[in-house]
Structure 1
Amino acid sequence: MKELIPLEEGDFYLSEEGYKVFTKKYHLKRGYCCESGCRHCPYGYNKKTNARR
């Protein structure tokens, strides 16, 4: 089971549609890429090519 990372200020924002969007800060704190094609992925994952930069 993966470790639960508590959310802090600056870890996410709400999109216009009301979705929670995680920031680069949160992804780096989490420490790995989930390969979901996140908007602010610092690991360079591209969902279309299924590869990292």
Structure 2
Amino acid sequence: MKPVERKRKMPGLADDDYYFSPQGFVVFTAAYHQKRGYCCKNGCLHCPYGFKKEK
């Protein structure tokens, strides 16, 4: 019997607020950032505010 894959849940977050990368990291979506209402200036992958972190 094949094991059933279940999505890990993050308490307090909606399913459309995040996903897990193949490496197991939590990645916040643009929907989450817009709900939060401001840019944290960390260069997030899905930043809806257009912030690009300089290398």
Q: Establish whether TM, by shorter chain, passes 0.5.
A: yes
CA distance in 1, matches of 2:19, 2:48: 16
Aligned structure 1 segments of 4 or more residues deviating by more than 3 angstroms: none
Q: What residue ranges of structure 2 are gaps of 5+ in the alignment?
A: 1-11
Name the one with the larger helix percent.
2
CA RMSD of aligned residues (A): 1.2
- Percent of paired sites with the same residue: 55
Q: TM-score, normalised by structure 1?
A: 0.78
Equivalent residue for 2:31? Answer: 25
Name the one with the larger strand percent.
1
Q: What residue ranges of structure 1 are gaps of 5+ in the alignment?
A: 1-5
1:39 and 2:54 equivalent? no
